Chain A
Amino acid sequence: MASTIVAFELGGREVEVMVKPMTTLQSALRDQLGFTATKEGCRQGGCGSCTVLVNDEPMLSCLLPVEDVAGQRVTTLESLTPTQGLHPLQQAFLDANAFQCGYCTPGMTMLAQALLDHNPAPDRGDITQALTGNICRCTGYGPIVRAIEVAAQAMHAGEEGQPR
């Protein structure tokens, strides 16, 4: 079948990929654009390691045909990382050692960003509920939950400290 060109916004810039039908966003990001922070754990929607944001909503990029994001705004961990230093979520994950092998970290971080966009002051129950689709096999959920709590506080304090 013939390929088509799909254009979307990735981390604030326009990108175009030429894809066969049913190519996933995960594949376009990793194999064509070289954005490999988005991981492949299962390629069947079961582990959450490929979570990206589409128009600020968390999506499993392994199940998402790239045609579906045409004209949409896609955010991956690469574009969450500031030019200098770390995003508060990244800093909190680092400080809390909220990873062992690190393979679930990108998906966890993107999901946490989506959670905090919706709910800047989540309680522990909100966080664990949000994380139910993301698997960490090194059993590091405790530090991950704590990191998100810390990041939420840091981001909240940061917002209050800045003139609006």
Chain B
Amino acid sequence: MSPDLNVVGNSVGRSDGIGHVTGRTRYTADRSFPGMLHLKMVRSPLHHARIRGIDLSAAERVPGFVRALTARDVPHNCYTILGLIGVEPEEEFVLAEDRVRFKGEAIVAIVAETEAAALEAVSKVQLDLEELPAVFDVEEALEPGAPIVTHWGNNTFMFEGHPCRRVRLGDVEQAFQQADYIVEGVYNTSPIEHAPLETTGCIAVPEANGRYTVYTNTQALYFSLDNTAIILQVPGSQLHFVGGTVGGGFGGKVDVIVEPIATLAAMKTNRPVRYTYSRAEEMQVSSTRSAWRIYVKDGVTRDGHIIARKVTSYADSGAYSRQTPYALTKHAANAAGPYAIPNVAIDAYCVYTNRQPTSAMRGFGVTMASFALEVQMDKIAEKVGADPWTIRFINAYHDGDMKPHRKLVEDATLIETMQAAATRVGHELPDVFRSMTSAPRDAGHDGGRS
């Protein structure tokens, strides 16, 4: 660290670099405490089931067993991660109550003297489950008679009383009538697991002053602290979260999953408790990027101008919404792409299914829109017989254009980015595109529309 703060324009070494190359960086699981207990989770073997009973008697007889935690032990068991920013309703259960909604859902936490004892006790818990029909496809989940995943009676997150996030500009149906071509596409993407090299985990340590220090590899330290305080119904001042060293995150460590239950276990036992995911849990239980299905219908003129775009998107949220409603809002704001289109209609659904919950991952919501729309742009180019560069330059938005969600475009750089890309790949652009800028259209640059 340069003591005179004279760093602008200079290359500054990373403060954690020496720790990384010498192996002295302390990741969460590198810490250990005297008397530390290990927490392992009993998980649902079924995608959707009613819980009729839980028999802990055999687990309790395992040498090293310390205690079990069920939903009844959690002071505020039903929560929503985004509740901190006003998102409702509360819908995820720290530990399952009467029903499990995805394979791998947490039901009973087992705390034991060693990891091996915890795993042994987990294997001895007897679950009495009544399997229920499950749904795994976003559109099947919206059909009448589909199994209902949520506790409020339908399978969509409700955006201010609507089953989808809606954006409207102009009149797409009328513009489709005036279009020379209609170009349609449906785009599917798969869920993607972040697979950080360090699995999700934390260690909660009771302190002599009544506080709890929680060492965690979360990407969202204060989000985790605040949600833990809500779930455990304790003042935030009783919790001290220590983080900042994350062995790979990519969005996969922003959910608040391990800290509340580990801290509860530390409170109940008055001992340090470690709860880290196995690799299998990281892959099969932790949030993934959502799978998406995106329908795009464009009305296009003979010369390649897009005059109407209708997008209907379905994000598979899995059994709980976590950060996905936020992704839908970002998606809806970006689902017309970086293009000036006068008539736009967007319906973006956050759909619940019986798959593992999905959440944040690098540009979530927007990345999938870009994938669908840029393939769609190439389809339009093919349909009108134009170069794919041309289609993008003539439709590119400029500063001062109105985006479909009623925000004026500021700091547009699509045109300049495409120019730089063309230079890099050695593609020769016609003068009209080489000289184009993203400046407002009334500043003398008409974007090639005349």
Binding site for B on A (CB under 8 A): 30-31, 34, 36-44, 46-47, 49, 76-78, 81, 86, 90-91, 93-94, 97, 99-106, 109, 135-138
Contacts and interface: CB of A to CB of B under 8 A. Distances in A.
B197 A49 contact: yes
Interface string B202-226: 0000000000000000000000000
Contacts of A102: 16, 19-20, 25, 247
Contact of A106 (B16, B23, B32, B278): B23
Contacts of A47: 197
Contacts of A31: 32
A103 B197 contact: yes
Q: Which of B23, B30, B196 has the most chain A CB atoms inside 10 A of its CB?
A: B23
A99 to B, nearest CB: 5
Nearest to B19: A102
Given A103-B197, A105-B23, A40 B29 contact: yes
A65 B279 CA distance: 20
A137 B247 CA distance: 9
Contacts of A105: 20-21, 23
Interface string B1-14: 00000000000011
Given A36-B26, A137-B195, A94 B21 contact: yes
Contacts of A138: 248
A48 B369 CA distance: 35
Q: Which of A41, A97, A100, A138 has the most chain B CB atoms inside 10 A of its CB?
A: A41
Contacts of A137: 194-197, 248, 250
Query: How big is the B interface, by class?
Result: 20 to 34
B16 to A, nearest CB: 7
Given A101-B246, A102-B247, A137-B250, A36 B23 contact: yes
Nearest to A47: B197
Q: Which of B25, B249, B278 has the most chain A CB atoms inside 10 A of its CB?
A: B25
B21 A41 contact: no
Q: Which of A86, A91, A94, A109 has the most chain B CB atoms inside 10 A of its CB?
A: A94
Interface of B: 13-14, 16-27, 29-30, 32, 194-199, 246-250, 278-279
Contact of A103 (B17, B18, B247, B279): B247
Contact of A97 (B14, B195, B199, B246): B14
A109 B17 CA distance: 14
Nearest to B21: A90
Contacts of B22: 37, 77-78, 81, 86, 90
A155 to B, nearest CB: 15
Q: SS class of chain B's interface: helix, strand, loop or mixed?
A: loop
15 contacts: A36-B27, A39-B198, A40-B29, A41-B197, A41-B198, A41-B279, A81-B22, A90-B22, A93-B20, A94-B17, A99-B17, A101-B197, A103-B196, A105-B21, A137-B196
Given A94-B13, A94-B17, A97-B14, A37 B24 contact: yes
Contacts of A46: 279
Given A40-B29, A44-B279, A86 B21 contact: yes
A44 B19 CA distance: 26
A48 B448 CA distance: 54
Contacts of A38: 23
Contacts of A103: 27, 196-198, 247-248
Contacts of A36: 23, 26-27, 30
Contacts of B16: 102
Contacts of A136: 197
Given A44-B279, A101-B249, 17 more contacts: A30-B30, A34-B32, A36-B23, A36-B30, A39-B247, A41-B199, A49-B197, A76-B23, A86-B22, A91-B21, A99-B17, A101-B246, A102-B19, A103-B247, A105-B20, A137-B197, A137-B248
Nearest to A20: B116
B247 A101 contact: yes
Nearest to B27: A103
Nearest to B16: A102
